[in-house]
Amino acid sequence: MGSPSGDQKGGLGLRREISQLGFGAIALNGTIGAGIFALPAIAVDHAGLFSPWLFVLCGLLIMLIVLVFARVASYFDDTGGPVTYAGAAFGPFAGFQAGWLLTLSRAAAFAANAHLMVTYAGWFWPPLLDGLWHNSGVLLICALLALINVIGVRQGMLALFALTLLKLLPLILLVLLGLGQVNPEIFTGTPLPPMDSLGETLLIVFYAFVGFESAVIPAGEARNARRDIPLALVRTILAITLFYFLIQVVTVSVAPGIGSSKTPLADVAMILMGTAGAAILTIGAVFSISGNLTASMLSAPRMVYAMAHIGSMPAWFGAVHARYQTPANAIVSYAIFSAVLALSGGFVWLAAMSTVVRLLVYVGCIATLPILHRKIGEYPDQFRLPGGMTIPVMALLPSLWLASHASLKSWLVTTAFMAAGAALYTFTRRRNA
- pLDDT (tens digit, 9 = 90+) per residue, 106-142? 888 888 888 888 888 887 888 888 888 988 998 998 8
- For 279-294, give the DSSP string: HHHHHHHHHHHHHHHH
Backbone angles phi and psi of 123, in degrees to 5 = -60, -30
pLDDT at 278: 86
Question: What is the C-alpha to C-alpha distance for residues 104 and 110, in angstroms, rounded to an integer?
Answer: 10
pLDDT mean over 236-251? 93
pLDDT mean over 219-247? 85
pLDDT at 277: 85
* Contact of 205 with 54, CB cutoff 8 Å: yes
C-alpha 175: how far from chain center: 23
pLDDT band at 11 (very low <50, low <70, confident <90, very high): very low
- Percent of the chain residues topping a pLDDT of 70: 92
Question: What is the C-alpha to C-alpha distance for residues 113 and 34, in angstroms, rounded to an integer?
Answer: 5
Cα–Cα nearest to 84, from 216, 229, 188, 281: 216
Which amino acid makes up residue 344?
Answer: S
Question: What is the C-alpha to C-alpha distance for residues 401 and 396, in angstroms, rounded to an integer?
Answer: 9
pLDDT band at 206 (very low <50, low <70, confident <90, very high): confident
Model confidence pLDDT, tens digit, residues 141-196: 889 888 887 876 566 667 667 777 777 888 899 999 998 888 888 887 777 777 76
Residue 5 has pLDDT above 50, yes or no: no
172: Cα within 13 Å, side-chain hemisphere? 7
* Contact of 232 with 23, CB cutoff 8 Å: yes
Residue 299 has pLDDT above 80, yes or no: no
pLDDT band at 2 (very low <50, low <70, confident <90, very high): very low
pLDDT at 60: 93
User: What mean pLDDT, rounded, does the chain reach?
Assistant: 82
Least confident interval from 337-341, 343-347, 356-360, 411-415? 343-347
* Contact of 430 with 422, CB cutoff 8 Å: no
pLDDT mean over 75-100? 85
Model confidence pLDDT, tens digit, residues 363-385: 998 999 999 888 887 777 788 88
What's the residue count for the chain? Answer: 433
pLDDT mean over 224-231? 80
Least confident interval from 54-63, 68-77, 397-406? 397-406
pLDDT at 83: 80
* Contact of 299 with 214, CB cutoff 8 Å: yes
pLDDT at 15: 63
First to last CA, the chain: 23
Q: Which residues contact 309 (CB under 8 A, 6 or more apart)?
A: 12, 79, 318
Question: What is the C-alpha to C-alpha distance for residues 40 and 205, in angstroms, rounded to an integer?
Answer: 8
Question: What is the C-alpha to C-alpha distance for residues 204 and 355, in angstroms, rounded to an integer?
Answer: 8
Domains of the chain: 20-432 (1.20.1740.10)
Give the residue, 351 or 337, on which the prediction is more confident: 337
Give the residue, 52 or 228, on which the prediction is more confident: 52
Question: What is the C-alpha to C-alpha distance for residues 18 and 157, in angstroms, rounded to an integer?
Answer: 8
Model confidence pLDDT, tens digit, residues 252-294: 999 888 887 878 888 899 999 898 888 888 888 888 787 778 7
Residue 220 has pLDDT above 70, yes or no: yes
Give the residue, 427 or 352, on which the prediction is more confident: 427
pLDDT at 398: 84
Give the residue, 326 or 237, on which the prediction is more confident: 237
Most trustworthy range by pLDDT among 151-165, 215-229, 416-430: 416-430
pLDDT band at 238 (very low <50, low <70, confident <90, very high): very high
Question: What is the C-alpha to C-alpha distance for residues 79 and 153, in angstroms, rounded to an integer?
Answer: 13
Residue 12 has pLDDT above 50, yes or no: no
